Amino acid sequence: MTSRATKLRSVLLAAALAVTATVSGVNPAAAAEQLNASQIVADMGAGWNLGNQLEANANGVPGETAWGLPAVTQALIDKVKAAGFKTVRIPVSYLNYIGAGPGYQINAAWLNRIQQVVDYAYKRGLYVLINMHGDGYKSINGAWLICDAGDQATIKAKYQKVWQQVATRFAGYDQHLVMEAMNEEFDGQYGTPTQPCYSNINAYNQIFVDTVRKTGGNNTARWLLVAGWNTNIDYTTGNYGFVVPSDQFRSPSIPAAEKRIMISVHYYSPWDFAGEENGTITQWGRGATNPAKKSTWGQEDYLDAQLKLVRDTFVSKGYPAVVGEYGSIDKSAFDSSNNRYRADFARAVVSTAKKYGAATVYWDNGNNGQYGFGLFDRRSSAVTHQGVIDAIMGGLASR
Task: Give the residue numbers marked as catalytic.
Answer: 184, 325
First-to-last C-alpha distance (Å) of the chain:
44
Contact 347, 339 (CB under 8 A): no
180-209 burial, b if ≥16 CB within 10 A, otherwise e? Answer: bbbbbbbbeeeeebbeebbebbbbbbbbbb
DSSP-based three-state secondary structure for 178: strand
Q: Where are the alpha helices (DSSP H) in the chain?
A: 3-24, 37-44, 74-82, 108-122, 152-169, 197-214, 233-237, 271-274, 300-313, 338-355, 386-397
Radius of gyration (C-alpha) of the chain in whole angstroms: 21
Residue 40 CA to residue 155 CA, distance in Å, equals 32
Residue 162 CA to residue 144 CA, distance in Å, equals 12
Q: Cα 270 to the chain's mean position, in Å?
A: 21
Query: Of 324, 344, 338, 326, nearest to 390 (Cα)?
Result: 344
- Which amino acid, 69? L
Residue 317 CA to residue 114 CA, distance in Å, equals 33
DSSP 366-396: S--STT---SB-TTT--BS-HHHHHHHHHHH
